[in-house]
Structure 1
Amino acid sequence: MANGLVIPTDNGSQFISGIFEKSCLDENVIHERIPVKSPNYNAFIESYHRYLQDECLTGSIYWSLDDIRNNINDFVYRYNNERIHSSIGYVTPHEYYLKNLMCV
């Protein structure tokens, strides 16, 4: 029985791997594939990846796995806790989550 969480993905090879499918089953998450050639079905993650690329990865040189891991962790923290998002009322995702968690 799924816990209500759904992960929509494109049809990339990483999402048909047995390890990914097993992880979804272990975590009780529904894996939903979007139709081929329709990135608009996954617009939120497409947007996130664009910001990750533009604000974190482009033009950066990483000398170790720890360097890139730290930089991406910093980006994720800033994206969720400091960066306001117009699509959710000019608040951070963390603020939005807390506000809507209280409504449930």
Structure 2
Amino acid sequence: MESFFHQFKTERIKRQVFDSAQQLRSTVTEYMRYYNNQRSHSAIGYISPREFECKIRC
């Protein structure tokens, strides 16, 4: 989780001003989808968490 929050703050939040709570919520949701479905992670062989989980379960 610490890695997630560090990357989230660095890539999406830093120096950004949100006009509403809904805009912030939307940004968080969008980033979570990206982080879990597309972003590669070195600790799991440079694949996304979704791909890694599928390999384990499938």
In the superposition, the TM-score normalised over structure 1's length comes to 0.53
Give ranges in structure 2 of 5+ residues lacking alignment.
Answer: none
- The alignment-based identity, stated in percent, is 29
CA distance in 2, matches of 1:86, 1:94: 14
Compare CA radii of gyration and give the structure with the larger one.
1
- 1:100 and 2:50 aligned: no
Q: Which residue of 2 aligns with 1:86?
A: 42
Provide the secondary structure at the position in 2 that maps to 1:61. coil
Structure 2 partner of 1:55: 11
Q: Provide the aligned C-alpha RMSD in A.
A: 0.8
Alignment length (residue pairs) = 58
Q: Deviation at 1:46?
A: 1.3
Q: Unmatched 5+ residue regions in structure 1?
A: 1-44
For residue 27 of structure 2, give the secondary structure of its aligned residue in structure 1. Answer: helix
Matched residue SS, 2:47: coil
Q: Distance in 1 between matches of 2:16 and 2:57?
A: 36
- Aligned match of 1:73 in 25, 29, 32? 29
**SS state at 1:62 partner:** coil
